[in-house]
Amino acid sequence: MKQTVSIIGAGTMGSGIAQIAASKGWNTIIYDINPDTLEISKTKLEKILNRLIEKGRIDEQIKRLIQKHITYTTDLSSIKPSNLVIEAIVEDLSIKTKLFESIDEIVDSNCIIASNTSSLSITALANSLKDPRRFVGMHFFNPAPLMKLVEIVPALQTHPDVVRKAMQIGSDWNKIVVRTKDTPGFIVNKVARPFYSESIRMYEEGMATPAEIDSSLKEVGGFRMGPFELTDFIGHDVNYKVTETVWKSFFNDGRYTPSFTQQQLVLAGYLGRKSGQGFYSYPNENQPVNVNKDKATAIVNRVIIMLINEAADTVHRQIASVEDIDTAMTKGVNYPKGLLKWADELGIEECVRRMDILFDEYHEERYRCSPLLRKMVRKGQKFYGA
Ligand SMILES: NC(=O)c1ccc[n+]([C@@H]2O[C@H](COP(=O)([O-])OP(=O)(O)OC[C@H]3O[C@@H](n4cnc5c(N)ncnc54)[C@H](O)[C@@H]3O)[C@@H](O)[C@H]2O)c1
């Protein structure tokens, strides 16, 4: 029988997720409180599908089929026939909680209810349902139809069958699914913190300019975008908020302390590309800069070791498996290599040595070496294989 999914919120993420579901033949209902947003979502989908036709990826008939699968509504009671509900509204715990209480009353008891939240606790959201066992996090990445990764996040209360079904649906929708514990930032938004924060730190210390750091990480590190151009692209309000939430949610752990420099950008309204000014001015006519080889290597090494240490901490806390962490970072944010594979290649002993050099220099919490790396050195272990 045909499956029905309801997507709650027709913004950036909701529209993308609806496109995926409809393309996979699901009856797709998109609900939003704002009729204009629904109209915009519909028009955008039309444009996207036309572009796919131009590229020869789909034909006119498939386009019409996808559109036929989607119903747009401002009436929440229309979501009644759903097998799955995915919420993608504004990131606000009390607004989401109220919405889940209403959804709980409308859909059947065997309908899975999921949230695409990036930073709220799945366990707290599950608590808004009478039966929290049917709740799960399904965290897509932007743009949802293009990014391969979905993080599946069981709440403390989630029934194992619900986790299995959510993972199966993710795979059926051609996504690569990873499983993560309900901890701040899940895998990707936790492990990626040092990419931004350590780069900003080097800039604050006068070690290099944003352009030099961006060039080094792209040309020597193999990253698709540098941290300064990337945060300008994401928006400093959004990126700062994620950092702040992860920091607060880990009970102000010094490893995640937000940067004063980025806070200043937000306070000034220098939000990046969308405001015309961030670390760079837009339109950005900066040419790639040449960075002295030793300096570029030092920059890349420092960012990589901090990322590896964060990935090791994620294994150590049993938030996710080694394989899932590497998959998440390569498929969710396009890192050139899995960080734990990178650690093996560098040698675990060398990773510990590099962290200890940083800690000796600063004596700050952010540079404390993951105990897992030390234990692995003692036992002669690697992340992959013996
Ligand atoms: N944008 C991203 O990169 C990204 C990535 C992953 C996850 N997320 C998460 O996805 C969710 C949505 O993010 P977005 O970027 O698509 O936001 P958005 O602002 O583009 O869209 C939110 C939509 O929700 C609607 N809305 C607000 N309150 C509502 C309510 N009570 N009932 C129904 N609709 C309501 C708004 O009208 C709007 O259309 C957030 O939880 C966010 O954390 C965002």
Q: Tens digits of per-residue pLDDT, 39-57?
A: 999 999 999 999 999 999 9
Last residue of a domain, one of 147, 179, 211: 179
CATH code of 366's domain: 1.10.1040.50
Nearest CA to ligand 1 atom 7: 118
Tell me the mean pLDDT in the region 178-199: 97
pLDDT of amino acid 129: 98
The reply to whether 169 falls in a domain is yes
Q: Is the dihedral of CA 271, 297, 246, 89 positive or negative?
A: positive
Please confirm, yes or no, whether 118 is among the known catalytic residues: yes
Given 83, 119, 151, 370, which residue is catalytic? 151
Q: How far apart are CA 229 and CA 211, in angstroms?
A: 9
| Catalytic-role residue among 41, 82, 128, 139 | 139
Average pLDDT over residues 88-113: 96
**CATH number for position 94:** 3.40.50.720
Rounded Cα–Cα distance for residues 348 and 372 (Å): 10
* 31 has pLDDT over 90: yes
Q: Does the pLDDT at position 1 exceed 80?
A: no
Residues 51 and 135 placed together within one structural domain of the fold: yes
Give the Å distance between the CA of 341 and the centre of ligand 1.
34
Q: Report the pLDDT value the prediction gives residue 47, as an integer from 0 to 100.
A: 97
**Confidence class of residue 386 from pLDDT cuts 50, 70 and 90?**
low
Position 334 pLDDT exceeds 70: yes
Task: Indicate whether residue 34 lines ligand 1 (CB < 6 A).
Answer: yes
User: Same domain, yes or no, for 220 and 154?
Assistant: no
Domain identity same for 22 and 128: yes
| Per-residue model confidence (pLDDT) at position 385 | 82
Q: Are residues 167 and 214 in the same domain?
A: no
Indicate whether 384 belongs to any domain: no
Q: What is the mean pLDDT of residues 301-329?
A: 98
Q: What is the mean pLDDT of residues 233-252?
A: 93
Domain count, the chain: 2
Domain range for residue 115? 4-179
Query: Does residue 155 surpass a pLDDT of 80?
Result: yes
The verdict on the CB of residue 307 being under 6 Å from ligand 1 is no
Pocket probe for ligand 1: among 30, 36, 79, 90, the residue whose CB has the most ligand atoms within 8 Å is: 90
% the chain with pLDDT above 90: 95
Active site residue 151: yes
Rg (C-alpha) for the chain, rounded Å, is 22
Residue 168 lies in a domain: yes
pLDDT at 287 (0 to 100): 73
Q: Verify that 264 and 148 share a domain, yes or no.
A: no
Tokens of 7: 């997507």
* Distance from the first to the final alpha carbon of the chain: 47
Is residue 386, in this structure, part of any structural domain at all?
A: no
The answer to whether residues 224 and 358 belong to one domain is yes
Together in a domain, 89 and 237: no
Ligand 1 closest atom vs CA 89? 24
**Based on the domain organization, do 120 and 201 belong to the same domain?**
no
Using CA positions, which residue lies closest to atom 9 of ligand 1? 117
Ligand 1 contact, 281 CB (< 6 A): no
- Quick check: CB of 33 below 6 Å from ligand 1? yes
Domain boundary among 179, 212, 234: 179
274 and 372 fall within a common domain: yes
Q: Are residues 154 and 207 in the same domain?
A: no
Q: Are residues 55 and 8 in the same domain?
A: yes
Distance from the alpha carbon of residue 87 to the mean position of ligand 1, in angstroms: 8
CA atoms lying within 13 Å on the CB side of residue 186: 30
H helix runs in 110-226, sequence order:
122-126, 160-172, 188-191, 193-204, 210-219
Instruction: Indicate whether residue 183 lines ligand 1 (CB < 6 A).
Output: no
Question: Does one domain contain both 162 and 235?
Answer: no
Residue with CA closest to ligand 1 atom 18: 11
Q: Is the pLDDT at 2 greater than 90, yes or no? A: no
Can you tell me the mean pLDDT for 73-83? 98
Query: Where does a domain end: 179, 204, 237?
Result: 179
Instruction: Give the pLDDT confidence score for residue 318 in this predicted structure.
Output: 98
